[in-house]
A and B are shown apart, each in its own frame.
Chain A
Amino acid sequence: DAGVIQSPRHEVTEMGQEVTLRCKPISGHDYLFWYRQTMMRGLELLIYFNNNVPIDDSGMPEDRFSAKMPNASFSTLKIQPSEPRDSAVYFCASRPDSSTLRAQYFGPGTRLLVL
């Protein structure tokens, strides 16, 4: 079975540009999570969805960040306008259901560099 798929794997952009990151969760997984990882702050949960509905977006740093999940197999994380401090690795993860006995499975990540 395919794991979580993310695209692009690498993104280099200039400050002020719009960036869109994409994620396809594992088929049948009801939960989707977006994380950001930096050396300074470690792994931070940005937002998560259950059955395509955003449940908790308290980790979204500011209004420049937005996330959508139009269907069960696709989600986007958008940054507009991007800033150098947004440079990080962004991971998408999915989980089968709400059980706390279930692990999350991570995608390969998108390495974002904002110049």
Chain B
Amino acid sequence: QKEVEQNSGPLSVPEGAIASLNCTYSDRGSQSFFWYRQYSGKSPELIMFIYSNGDKEDGRFTAQLNKASQYVSLLIRDSQPSDSATYLCVGYSSASKIIFGSGTRLSIRP
């Protein structure tokens, strides 16, 4: 089992809808998680981070963390074609080792 798992997609969502990206992790001691967006041919760009149970909102983005169920999610409201990218879920293990998920490809169709 990978330490941080994501569905590779592609996830296709109509423009204006909510895109839901999910990530599960195996190390129960993991403390914090980050979501990066990576456009094709570009470097990963930080969108959100979360370390407390519950929701954290920033504009159209909401990160959710459920430590009991060991999952992290990213919701994108009012999806735009410019949101089409690969989204990487990243966590720190209990040993402070950074673990990258393999990424989910999101496609917003007009």
Contacts and interface: CB of A to CB of B under 8 A. Distances in A.
* Co-complex (A, B): yes
Interface of A: 33, 42-43, 45, 91, 98, 100-101, 103-109
B57 interface: no
B49 interface: yes
Interface stretch (B14-22, B65-73, B75-83, B98-106): B98-106
Interface string B19-44: 00000000000011010100000111
B61 interface: no
Contacts, number: 37
A103 B34 CA distance: 7
Contacts of B102: 42
**Size range of the chain B interface in the assembly:** 10 to 19
Contacts of A43: 44, 88, 100, 103
Contacts of B45: 106
Nearest to B102: A42
Contacts of A107: 43
Given A42-B100, A43-B100, A100-B32, A105 B46 contact: yes
16 contacts: A33-B98, A42-B102, A42-B103, A43-B103, A91-B43, A91-B44, A98-B96, A100-B31, A100-B96, A101-B31, A101-B51, A103-B34, A104-B46, A106-B36, A106-B43, A106-B44
